[in-house]
Homo-oligomer: A and B are copies of this chain.
């Protein structure tokens, strides 16, 4: 379900850390039996998952990790998709809020107490969570690069490419964006109108196509990649 056996082992390029793969399978079963499953609807707030150090992960759907600034502005730090963990870091210094982005979102969670019990019994399980943390690092690094582009076209282009890579490949090259224009704007740090204009411009250039506002079909991946580097319009 989590792709544990694949990710966790192959990421380190060796198999011997886990004395037996059965240990890992047993862990997954225990994690599943221990975990509390919850189903959510769009616009739900699921802060409760990580309350008191709880650890959650997405089984299906999308959750966004946000910061609400003092001036009321919302910034989306991370988009959590299936197999992504959150709440690994217990840090009181910054408060995040978690919003459900799509209907039929399914999450699992364990309390910090359960986490402690699990890892106390089998401390090598930290390798598993360490690996999840490293995946988070990779996501954030990528996002920093997306956000760091200069023009809005570059940002949108790299964002679309990133999404097409992360989202499960549906029919052909079509990507169903799991978020509204407002969410995209709050995520990459530009105005909603600018998001719309950039998408329109990419469509005008024949690089992408919009079946619906949410469904983006990438006509020319190569050209889309070129948009990221090109300085000229």
Report which A residues bind B (CB closer than 8 A).
11-14, 16-17, 53, 67, 69-71, 75, 77-78, 88-91, 93-94, 112, 116, 119-120, 123-124, 126-127, 129-130, 133-134, 136-138, 140-145, 147-150, 189, 229, 231
Q: State the oligomeric state as a number of copies.
A: 2
Q: Determine whether the beta carbon of B14 is less than 8 Å from that of A116.
A: yes
A225 to chain B, nearest CB (A): 9
Known: A133-B137, A144-B144, A147-B147. 16 other contacts (CB 8 A): A14-B116, A17-B120, A17-B123, A71-B231, A75-B144, A75-B145, A77-B144, A88-B137, A91-B134, A91-B138, A94-B138, A119-B127, A123-B123, A133-B133, A143-B144, A144-B147
Interface of A is mostly: mixed
Q: Determine whether the beta carbon of A144 is less than 8 Å from that of B133.
A: no
A98 to chain B, nearest CB (A): 14
Chain B hits for A126, CB < 8 A:
123-124, 126-127, 129-130
A104 to chain B, nearest CB (A): 28
Chain B hits for A94, CB < 8 A:
138, 141-142
Q: Determine whether the beta carbon of B189 is less than 8 Å from that of A148.
A: yes
A89 to chain B, nearest CB (A): 4
CA gap between A231 and B119 in the complex, in Å: 47
- Residue of A112, A137, A138 with most chain B CB atoms under a 10 A cut-off: A137
